[in-house]
Amino acid sequence: TEIHYYEVKTAGFAEDCIKQGIGQLWSYTFYESDNRKKKLIIFGKNKPTKAEYKFIDFVKSQFQGIEFDYLSLKDIEQE
């Protein structure tokens, strides 16, 4: 029922990963003609800092009709 787009980035900080990958994710959705709900996910190495969580919340608030999230390798390793 939805399409998930992932962009993997290797920068040391979550904010840098997001800055590097967000344009790529936007272009994927621009050229996609499928009308299913879309979710954009940046995958990075490290968990966000407290300040970066605020940045992530800001990015999320800017998207209308498209979900956004940041996922770290550290989050997956803890599962």
Give a three-class secondary structure readout of 31-70.
CCCCCCEEEEEEEECCCCCHHHHHHHHHHHHHCCCEEEEE
Question: What angle (nearest 5°) sits at the alpha carbon of residue 39, between those of residues 32 and 1?
Answer: 75
Predicted pLDDT at 66: 85
Residue 79 tokens, joined: 């599962």
Q: Among all chains, which residue has been given the structure tokens 């992530």?
A: 56
Phi/psi-derived region of residue 67, left when phi > 0, alpha when psi is between -120 and 50, beta in every other case: beta
Predicted pLDDT at 79: 60
What are the tens digits of pLDDT across the range 49-68? Answer: 999 999 999 999 988 788 99
